[in-house]
Amino acid sequence: MSADSTDIALFVKVSEGNVVRWDRGRIAESLRREAGVSGEVAEQIAGRVERIIRESGIEFITGPLIREIVNAELIKLRMEEERKRYTRLGMPMYDVEQLITKQNKENANVPHGPEATNLSLAESIKKQYALLRVFSPEVALAHERGDIHLHDLGFIDRPYCSGNSIEYVKKFGLSLPNALSISKPARHAEVLVLHLIKFSAALQGVFAGAIGWDAVNLFMAPYLEGRSEREVEQVAQMLVFEFAQQAVARGGQSIFSDLNLYWEVPKHFADVEAIGPEGRYTGNTYEDYLEEAQRFARALIRVYMQGDGMGRPFFFPKPQLHITERLFSTEGYREFLYEIAQLSSEKGNSYYVFDRGETAKISECCRLAFKLDENDLQDAKTPWKMRYSAMQNVTINLPRIAYEARGSDERLLELLSERMKLAAEAHVAKREFIVRLLSLGKNGPLGLLCMDKDGEPYYRLHRATFLMGMLGLNEMVQYHLGEEMHESNYALRFGLKVIAHMSRECERLGEDYGMRFVLEQTPAESTAYRMAKLDLEHYPEHARQVVKGSMERGEVYYTNSTYLNVSAPVSPIERVKKEGMFHPMIHAGSLTHIWLGEAKPEPEAIAKFVVRTFRHTTNDQIAFSPEFSSCLDCGRVDRGLW
């Protein structure tokens, strides 16, 4: 005996925050609207679902449960695409409780708290959405299998990272879309700092990665004329502390920020007319503000040297010192380089970026650096236009390719090309999605990137790059040849051959797709663990031969990007030289870490090391990484291990 739906005394708890009486028509209507199912089939499925619920004897039902039953019926009808469109995104109750009560250790920058929980929950849903709706099934499967890694899936609706210019803030003030108030261009250095911090916080909300600022000390210089040394240092202290203490970014993090610094005036800015207070031209060029720029750079280094209120080092904003040929002909460079070297020895700051010859870079994140081409150097004449972005990073699992190649060089390179084509397809999908969001304009989710103050949107789509990362080159070579890259010149040369092939493939794919694909050393510490763990599961006999870390404790990883084995007995200068051989082929940025451990080298030694690296290697960027001990009770931090 059948019963009409009005005879079923069920109440349904729906996602809109309401409890309604049962009505199978809502199921049929949602199937037509969301899954594109025909009216007749939708009515049939709704009837079957109603029968299942009636026969279950349940008296109270939720919307998610109804959707699960509907999806089961769609599977029976082999309507897989319709099921994907109709599926509900979310997390199991157990996982949500674990997130709320226990700290997520995947990202050391995220503190545990309600904002971090919100971040993890939102990321989980957006990751599911990205894999189901943004990327093709082939790309999504390659990510889930571990052939490639799609970075920042939880931020699928944002570009990756950005390089910015203070000149934009100086010229246009703080005028953000949908803001409740607008600020005119700053008159005073302190106000400019506050504008910069607030704008950085806003940018962090629409980018997944770092917010980099170019030539910070140079562009601040016109605001520092006539200010005393104490006042200049106060502005520097304000800048660093405000950046470091803004726990407003994703999940309550500090703003992921980089400050690019120069001792000299870079050639491409030397003759540029300077913008000063109130956004007005001062009548001078930036070459005329060298003294103020140097004073501010030294003040920033003193602030970093002092550390925070407990003497701890500042992790953000990261200082990035650019080394150019002009530095060595600029008066006072030796003393300044000594001060920076002392900071590196004591606190681990800063990064040293090498701009050789006529090249120039703007650095973001911990290794991403874009070399400026002729069009960019033309933009330098109007520096507020110097806005750059990498839209996405996709990393290739190199060791797995070696496992599948079974010793064949030809097959290895063939598989590498196939994986890079998949990565290119992933970039195309991401670009199409971001373009769709940008097309919604100032009232869309990326309204900030659509604002137009200078004749073009803030996000310059035609300047966007698409990053091809690599992971585990050392383990690929080790499995393929039986030697790690530090163990023989033959192994090192084979690693160089692989990266050269990747570089050529980037150029070829770029021509095919009309996009700018570039290699990047992936900052992929969590990805190094994920891929090693997946390979131990899917390729256990192969992966056990090369995976690093402790398999007993589950603390496993692949060597990051093109690095030599971090535990290899290689001297710092040899490591810098050998790792630097890869850097000319990695156009989006590369870095060598010099692990100091408990050692505290003399500043003179570090300064000489930096100059020798600049003069005698092809290394793009180096950083010195010491060890610290932190007291969990008092918060004190000291160099070395207690």
Judge whether residue 193 has pLDDT over 60: yes
CA angle, 52 as apex, 49 and 54 as ends, to 5°?
105
Q: Are strands 148-150 and 60-62 parallel, antiparallel or unpaired?
A: unpaired
- Distance of alpha carbon 235 from alpha carbon 515, whole angstroms: 41
**Where in 264-410 does DSSP place strands (E)?**
273-275, 281-285, 318-323, 351-354, 361-364, 368-371, 388-397
pLDDT at 252 over 70: no
CB atoms within 10 A of CB 23: 16
Which pLDDT score is estimated for 40? 94
pLDDT at 240 over 70: yes
Q: Over 70: is that where the pLDDT of 367 sits?
A: no
Count the Cβ atoms, other than its own, within 10 Å of residue 302.
16
Res 88: pLDDT:
84
Residue 2, pLDDT score:
45
Q: What is the mean pLDDT of the chain?
A: 90
Q: Could you tell me which residue, 636 or 129, shows the higher pLDDT?
A: 129
Query: Bigger pLDDT: 611 or 638?
Result: 611
Question: Token match 């069009």: residue?
Answer: 375
What is the torsional sign of CA 531, 532, 533, 534? positive
Q: Top-level CATH class of 164-379?
A: alpha beta
The percentage of the chain sitting over the pLDDT mark of 90, rounded to a whole number, equals: 71
SS (H, E, C) 500-526: HHHHHHHHHHHHHHCCCEEEEECCCHH
Q: For position 89, what pLDDT does the model report?
A: 83
**What is the CA 380 to chain-centroid distance, rounded?**
25
Q: Helices then strands (H, E): number in the chain?
A: 23, 22
Amino acid at 613: T
- Mean pLDDT computed over 88-106: 78
Q: What pLDDT shows up at residue 107?
A: 56
DSSP reduced 3-state for 604: helix
Is the Cβ–Cβ distance between 25 and 46 less than 8 Å?
A: yes
Q: Where is pLDDT greater, at 595 or 578?
A: 578
Residue 6 has pLDDT above 50, yes or no: no
Q: Rounded mean pLDDT of 470-496?
A: 98
3-state DSSP assignment of residue 258: strand
Joined tokens for residue 14: 């729906």
Mean pLDDT value of segment 191-217:
94
Phi, psi (rounded to 5 degrees) for 424: -65, -40
Q: Determine the Cα–Cα distance for residues 441 and 9; give it in Å rounded to an integer.
A: 47
Mean pLDDT, residues 72-91 taken together = 90
Q: How confident is the model at residue 1, as a pLDDT?
A: 36
Arithmetic mean of pLDDT, 197-223: 94
- pLDDT (tens digit, 9 = 90+) per residue, 264-302? 999 999 999 999 999 999 999 999 999 999 999 999 999
Q: Domains of the chain: which residue ranges?
A: 5-86, 164-379, 388-588
Query: b/e string for 395-408 if b means 16 or more Cβ within 10 A?
Result: bbbbbbbbbebeee
Task: Report the distance separating Cα 312 and Cα 15, nearest Å.
Answer: 47
Pairing relationship of beta strands 18-21 and 148-150 according to DSSP bridges: unpaired
- Paired strand residues for 608: none
Residues with Cβ within 8 Å of 479's Cβ and at least 6 positions away in sequence, in order, are 399, 402, 403, 542, 545, 546
Q: What is the pLDDT of residue 3?
A: 44
- Specify the pTM: 0.89
pLDDT at 638 over 80: no
Closest by CA position to 146, among listed 539, 548, 614: 539
Average the pLDDT over each of 254-258, 321-325, 510-514 and give the range with the smallest value: 254-258
**Three-class DSSP category at 231:** helix
At 9 the pLDDT is 57
Tell me the angle at which helices 229-245 and 189-204 cross, rounded to the nearest 10 degrees: 20
The residues that bridge with 165 in the sheet, in sequence order, are 214
